[in-house]
Structure 1
C-alpha cells in the first residue's frame, strides 16, 4: 500500500467515524452539558426576581403591617419582703428592717382568644402580598394573687406593696394597631392600655409591650377581663397559649391557610370562602407555671396560628422546574436523534443547539408571563409556543410531517409531565424515575438494529416515519 492509499484509507475511516450515529450521540451529549450554562443563568434570573418580589412584599408590609403575634395578657403584682436585722455598734444592739422589692407574674387561669381575620391581596407593581385586618377579643380570668402565695427569698415576711398591679400584653408592632386597646375588668368601665412597660420596674427587654393598671383589691380577689384589639398585619397571625386552659378560635376569608406552631388545630374547616380553626390547650401543653416570682415576662413562649399561604408561589415553582431542565433537554434531544436516524433529512449539531436554546427560553417566557397572568396560563402559553416551534422546525429539517407530529407529541408529553411534577412535589422523584426508565427502554429497543459505527445501516420498520421506503440513516 502506498502512502497515498494509506492516507485515503485513513480519511475514509475518519469520515465513517464522523458520520457514525455514535459520534453524533457523543456530540449531542457534550452539547447537552454546555446547555447547563444558560440554564444556570435562568436559575439566577429566577432568584433575582424572587428577591425583588420579597423586597416589594416588605415594602407593602411596612406600610400596612407585618406578621402579628399577640402574647398575653399577664398580671404583675408587687410585694415587699421585710427582713428584720440586728447589729451591735459600740455595745449597743440596733434593730433595722431590710426591705426587698418582689413581684409575681401570674398567667390567666383561663384564656379565650377569638379572632376574625379579614384578608385581601395588596398589589404593588407586579407583586402582591396577602394582608389582613384582625378583630381580636381576649377574655379570661386571673386567680387571686395574695401575699401569702409569695415564698420569702430572704427569710422575711411578705406583704402587699403600694404599687398598682399591671396587666401586660405584647404585640409584634404597635404602629399597626387600628383602635384604642382597652381593658375591661369584670364588665366595668374600660381602662386604656399604655405603650411600653415604663414604671413597672421589670427587668429585661419586654419588646412591644402594652400595660394597664388594676387596683390591689382586684388583684388580691381575682377578676375577669376582656381586651378587644383591632390591628393590621400580613402573611401570618399567631397567638400564645398563656392560660392554664386556653381556647383559640380563628375565622378568616382566606381559602389557603397554613397552620403553624407547636400544635395543629383540633378542629378545622376549609372552604373556597375561607376557614375556621380552633385549638384547646391544657396547662401541660403550655409548659409554664401559673405564677413566676421575680422573673422576666414570659413573652418568649411558643405560639400557634396560621400563615396566609399563597396558592402558587410561582418563583419557587419555576425554580424547581429549572432543576429538571437538563433532564428534559436530554429527553428532547433523544427524541430528535431517534427521529433523525429514521427520517430522510438530517439535523446538524448546530440545529440541536438551537433546539436546546428554545427549551431554555421556555423558562424565561414562563417567568416573564407568570408575573403578569399567573403560573397556569403562563405555563400553557410558553409550553405551547415552544412545542409548536420545535415540532415545526424538526419536521422541516428532516423533511417529514409525521416526524414533526411525533416531535410535537413528545414535547407535549414532556411539558405535561413537568407540570404534574411541579404540582405533585411529593411524587416528583417517583414519577421522574419511571420516566427515565421508560426513556432508556424506548431508546434500547428503538436502536436495537441501528449500526452505531455507520458501516452498514439497517432498516427498522417499527420506526418508519414516512409512508414510502425507509431512507438510509444519516447524520
Structure 2
C-alpha cells in the first residue's frame, strides 16, 4: 500500500507550541498569585502596627523609654548689651557646669504585661546616683564674676518621662537635703526633668568641691539610657533579664550575660565625648532621640528593634527573644520562589510522566501555598514561632501531597511532591533562623535548585512539538 505525505495529519498551532503555551500559562498564574502574597505582606504590617499601638498604650500608663541625664549645675548671670540706640540692656544667660565624678548603681526588675494577645516589656529601675562637682571656675568662660548670680543657681536632672517616677526623690548636696521640683527651670538644658534650687548658701559653698547623692525609683519601658555627663561616668547595671541588647555610643566592659540575667559596667571619660565640662548659653543640649515607636524601612519591610540614638547616649534594651512579625514578613518574601518551584515540579511531572494537570489545579495548589503565610501569621500570634511554622508548613505539605495523589493517581509522584515541599520549607526555616547568613545560604540554595532543574531537564527534547499529552 502506497503511503503519501498528505496522509499524515499536520500539527496545528496549539500542538506545535503546547510546551511554550503551558510555560506561559504557568508564568502568568505565578504572577497573579503575587497579588494575594502582597496582600498578606500588608496584613503582616497591619497586625504589627496593631501590636505597636497596644504596646504604646501600655507604655503610656506605666512609663516610656527612659533616658537619665545629669545632674548639671546651672548658674544665671547678667549680660549687658548696647542696643541700636546706644542704650545698655540687661538680660540673663546661664553658666553650666558638669560633675567631675558621676557614678550610678542600678538594678532593673523587668516584667511583661499583656494587652489581649500582645505583650510589652516594662521595668522598674532603682538607681543610686552619687558624684561631685569641683569648685565652679569661671576661667575661660569670659564672664564677669560680679555679674554671676550664685544665690539663684539650681541643679537639673534630665528624665524623659516624669510619669515613671515612683518615689519622692531626696537630693542631698554636701549633706544638706534640697527641694526637688518637677519640670526644668528656665536656663536648663533638658526638655523634661527635675529642677533643684540651691537656695540660700554661704559664700564658701562654691569655693570647695560639691558632693551630691540621690536615689531614683523609676518605671520605664524596654529601654534605659544614660548621658555621660561626668568627667568620669561609671554606670553599673544588673537585671534578671536574659536577652539584653547593649546599645548606644558605648558598650559595657566588663559585661556578663547568662541564664540568671546580666551585669554590665560602662566607664566613659570626658575625652570620649565632644562637649566640655563647662559652657555658657545654650550651646549644648542633652535630649534623647529615642522614639517610642517601631519603624519600617523604605519598603515597609522588617520591624526595626530601635530608633536612631543621639551621639553619646548609651544603655540597654530589654529585647523579646523573637519578633515573629519580622520573621513572618521575611518568609512572605519567598512566596514567588515557592510558587515557581512547585509549579516547575508539576510541569516536569507533566512533561516526563505524561500526566495532564489543568490550570485550575495549578491555581488551587498556588492558593494553598499562599494560605500558608496566613496560617503562620495567625498561629504564631498565639504560640512559639517554631511550633507555628511546623504546624502551618505541615498542614500545607499534607494538603498538597493528598491533592497531588488524587489528581495524578500516583502515590510515588505524591511522595515526591511532598518531599520537595518539605525540603523547601526546611530551607526557608533555616534562612529565617540564620539572619546574618541568609544571603549566603539563599544564594547557595538557589544555585543548587537551578542545578537540579537543569539536571532533570537535560534529556527533554524541547523541539518535540508533537507531544499530544500537553494539549
**Could you say which TM-score interval applies, normalised by the shorter chain?**
0.7 to 0.9
What's 1:467 paired with? none
**Per-residue CA distance 1:50-101 (angstroms, 9 max, x = gap):** 1111111111111111110111111123456899xxxxxxxxxxxxx99775
Q: 1:110 aligns with which of 78, 101, 106?
A: 101
**Counterpart pick for 2:426 among 416, 440, 444:** 416
Q: Quick one: distance in 2 between partners of 1:298 and 1:109?
A: 19
Q: Identify if the C-alpha distance between structure 1 residues 22 and 152 changes in structure 2 by more than 3 Å, giving closer, same or farther.
A: closer
How far the C-alpha of 1:183 sits from its partner, in A, is 0.7
Quote the RMSD (CA, aligned, Å): 2.8
Aligned CA distance change for structure 1 residues 295 and 13 (closer, same or farther; 3 Å): closer
Is the 2:75–2:94 contact (alpha carbons within 8 Å) kept by the matching residues of 1?
A: yes
Give the SS at the match of 2:250: coil
Counterpart for residue 202 of structure 1: 187
Name the residue aligned to 1:93. none
Q: 1:397 to 1:343 in 2, by over 3 A?
A: farther
Q: Is the 8 Å Cα contact of residues 152 and 158 (structure 1) preserved in structure 2? A: no
Tell me the equivalent position of 1:304.
314
- Which of 239, 242, 247 does residue 226 from structure 2 map onto? 239
Q: Deviations over 1:316-374 (max 9, x none)?
A: 11111111110121112222222333446432121111111100000000001111113
**Pair member with larger Rg:** 1
Q: Deviations over 1:91-122 (max 9, x none)?
A: xxxxxx99775542110001112221111111
In 2: Cα distance, 1:13 partner to 1:285 partner = 80
Contact 1:206–1:297 (Cα < 8 Å) also in 2: no
User: Does the 8 Å CA contact 1:114/1:249 hold for their aligned counterparts?
Assistant: yes
Matches of 2:213 and 2:236, distance apart in 1: 16
* Superposition map of 1:325-336 within 5 A: 325-336=335-346
Q: What is the aligned partner in structure 1 of residue 33 from structure 2? A: 35
Q: Matches of residues 315-464 of structure 1 in structure 2 within 5 Å? A: 315-343=325-353, 345-455=355-465
Pair 1:281 & 2:268 matched: yes
Instruction: Quote the residue 1:25 is aligned against.
Output: 23
Among candidates 244, 252, 257, match of residue 239 of structure 2:
252
Once the two structures are superposed, what CA deviation does each residue of 1:363-406 show, in whole Å capped at 9, x if it has no partner? 00000111111321111100000011111211222111111111
- Inter-CA distance 260–455: structure 2 relative to 1 (3 Å threshold): same
Residue 228 of structure 1 pairs with residue 215 of structure 2: yes
Given the alignment of the two structures, is residue 126 of structure 1 paired with residue 113 of structure 2, yes or no? no
Range that drifts further, 299-308 or 157-166 = 157-166
Number of residue-to-residue matches in the alignment? 436
**1:74–1:108 Cα contact (<8 Å) kept:** yes
Per the TM alignment, residue 25 of structure 1 is displaced from its structure 2 partner at its CA by: 2.4
Structure 2: unaligned runs, 5 residues or longer: 82-87, 288-309
SS of the residue corresponding to residue 158 of structure 1 reads: helix
Shift of 1:23: 3.0
TM-score between the two structures when normalised by the length of structure 2: 0.85
Shift of 1:131: 0.7
CA distance in structure 2 between the aligned counterparts of 1:209 and 1:366, rounded to whole angstroms: 44
Q: Distance in 2 between matches of 1:131 and 1:150?
A: 45
Q: What secondary structure sits across from 2:146 in the alignment?
A: strand
Following superposition of structure 1 onto structure 2, how do residues 144-183 of structure 1 map, counting pairs within 5 Å? 144-145=135-136, 149=139, 151-153=141-143, 158=146, 161=149, 163-183=151-171
Q: What's the counterpart of residue 57 of structure 1?
A: 55
**1:406-449: CA deviation from partner (whole Å, max 9, x where unpaired):** 11111111011111111112222222222222222112221222
TM-score, structure 1 as length reference? 0.84
The one of 38, 42, 45 aligned to 2:43: 45
Q: Please say if residues 75 and 150 of structure 2, whose CA atoms lie closer than 8 Å, have aligned partners that are also in contact.
A: no
Shift in alpha-carbon separation, 1:297–1:442, aligned structure 2, 3 A: closer
